[in-house]
Structure 1
Amino acid sequence: MAIFTGETAAQAIENGLKTLHLTRNEANITIVKDAKKGFLGINKQEAEVEVKSILPQHTGGAFLHPELSNEIAKESKFDNLGGVDEHQEAIDDDVELDLSPAEIKQRQAKNQLKLEQAAQRLVDYLTDILNVMQIEIEPKLTIEHQLIKINLTTEKQGLLIGHHGLTINSLQTMAVVFLNQHGVQHTNVILDTDNYRKRREEVLVGVAKQAATEAVATGKAVYLDPMPALERKQVHQALSENKFVRTYSQGDEPRRSLVVAPASEM
């Protein structure tokens, strides 16, 4: 739990947002303790607040804050797609362990309906944004457990994708934030158009292998350009069986990048 302090609750919140490089819309904020002025300065206490990012795979200023560093150290080897591991429970966090199978099934059905309704609102939200960008689309929505896939058919694929996927990846990040703000969490989102994700994966596999060859040949780490969590995971997986190199991510979203280093470099 990351706790930030300040002379007032507002100042503590500001300190937390600044440290994590977040806006108020990108964070969940909980006031742990209000500030106390004390008597003549005696027993004075600062306000304490907890600030958590709602952005996918956001580490913010973790390396500036020891408690966050500990949390990140517990993460799995691979980056997630922008939500949580696909095997994480979909049941609401407040479900008690002693619920009957029928009650659990009822909760799951309710959550699934909530997810489907939110996903449809997300499609409308993305359609409105792209209309402003003068990009007409025909969206196709698919929901697989806690994964929402939206294929966007358009005649302006290049404009929708953007340079190295910048536009479509930004829209994908916005989609996850949209769902979080509408009460749907633990859900991954993948936006695609004209089979871009598959073609991009093939390119990334080539980039990964080339970086591995360079790292082994020179004995030095190779730093790849910043990329979203989904693409970092694909590079991780492409080199997971290569015993001569190791991969890790560094930096903060949205400029978080992947490093391919010789296995002997520690």
Structure 2
Amino acid sequence: MMKSVEKQGRTVEEAIEAALKELNASREDVEIEVLDEGSKGVLGIIGSQQARVRVTLKQKPPIILKEVLKGIVERMGASVTVEEPVEKEGAFYINMSGEDAGLVIGRNGSTLDAIQLLVSEIVRKRSNSSVLIWVDADRYREKRWEQVKRMALDAMRRAKLERREIRLYNLTPAERRIVHLTLQNNSDIVTYSEGEEPNRVLVVAPVDLGSRKKGRKKQDRRKQPKGESEEE
């Protein structure tokens, strides 16, 4: 539940400052509603009326995330515990645990993907911010991420040793992002994606081979009609 206070002051600004002090917040953290701008009255004394404002703390994405996810799994009737969100891999990560973890994961993570999509949309709208959300159950995604990271490092070693492009198939967009992040600091390797969903492929290549290939892709894109684009 959002916390808000109403304050009065000789001016709107004075009332706002009083509210911010009570909430121990800055202006960036709150929403301000002016309920009454007040009036000075006659000679600044007779009939004067104080300004009045309502200041509400904005909900932070992690708070909204946990609240929304708990509501969804309760409606599903799933017996799971929603843990506290943490920041991980540039996103807010939240895990669920309990006897019904398998139910919220679904076949090949399909139910978990659907929950994550729904939760992400709600959190973005309610927090008015573009945040990346990872919803997990029984550390299903976390275990998969570790596999993907090992796969990325192995592909990098093979690309360097064999001096050729290594293609990684059957990765979700989120898993491709993990490969990019895992290898992004290796200056002698490039990563990029080819093809269209659901058959999109991630390529790991030595920088000289990969740069030439990406250069050809950019030339091809310049020949495409306006409005068409391809993800790197």
Shorter-chain TM-score bucket reads 0.5 to 0.7
- How many pairs were matched up? 162
Moved beyond 4 Å, runs of 4+: 114-117, 250-257
**Greater RCO, 1 or 2 (C-alpha within 8 Å, sep 6+):** 1
Contact 1:141 1:148 in 2 (8 A): no
Contact 1:212 1:260 in 2 (8 A): yes
SS of 1:202's equivalent in the other structure is helix
Could you say which residue in structure 2 is the equivalent of 1:205? Answer: 149
Q: CA deviation at 1:105?
A: 1.0
Could you say which residue in structure 2 is the equivalent of 1:16? Answer: none
Could you say which residue in structure 1 is the equivalent of 2:26? Answer: 105
Residues 1:195 and 2:139 aligned together? yes
Q: CA deviation at 1:120?
A: 5.0
**Could you tell me which amino acid in structure 2 is paired with residue 127 of structure 1?**
V
In structure 2, relative to structure 1, the CA distance for the partners of 1:240 and 1:118 (3 Å cut) is closer
Post-superposition CA distance 1:190-219 (Å, at most 9, x none): 222233343222211211122224434262
Q: CA deviation at 1:171?
A: 1.9
In structure 2, relative to structure 1, the CA distance for the partners of 1:259 and 1:138 (3 Å cut) is same
Identity of aligned residues (%): 25
Residues 1:249 and 2:170 aligned together? no
**Could you tell me which amino acid in structure 1 is paired with residue 65 of structure 2?**
A
- In structure 1, the gaps of 5 or more residues are 1-98
Post-superposition CA distance 1:36-68 (Å, at most 9, x none): xxxxxxxxxxxxxxxxxxxxxxxxxxxxxxxxx
Q: CA deviation at 1:147?
A: 5.6
1:219 to 164, 174, 182: 164
Q: TM-score, normalised by structure 2?
A: 0.53
Task: Note the 1:93-172 alignment, pairs <5 A.
Answer: 105-109=26-30, 110=56, 112-113=58-59, 115=61, 118-119=64-65, 121-128=67-74, 130-131=76-77, 135-142=78-85, 148-172=92-116
Q: CA deviation at 1:182?
A: 3.8
Q: CA deviation at 1:152?
A: 1.0
**Could you tell me which amino acid in structure 1 is paired with residue 153 of structure 2?**
K
**Could you tell me which amino acid in structure 2 is paired with residue 139 of structure 1?**
V
Contact 2:159 2:206 in 1 (8 A): yes
Contact 2:65 2:119 in 1 (8 A): no
Task: Note the 1:228-247 alignment, pairs <5 A.
Answer: 228-229=173-174, 231-247=175-191
Instruction: Please say which structure displays the higher CA radius of gyration.
Output: 2
1:177 to 121, 132, 136: 121
Contact 2:59 2:127 in 1 (8 A): no
Q: CA deviation at 1:176?
A: 1.1
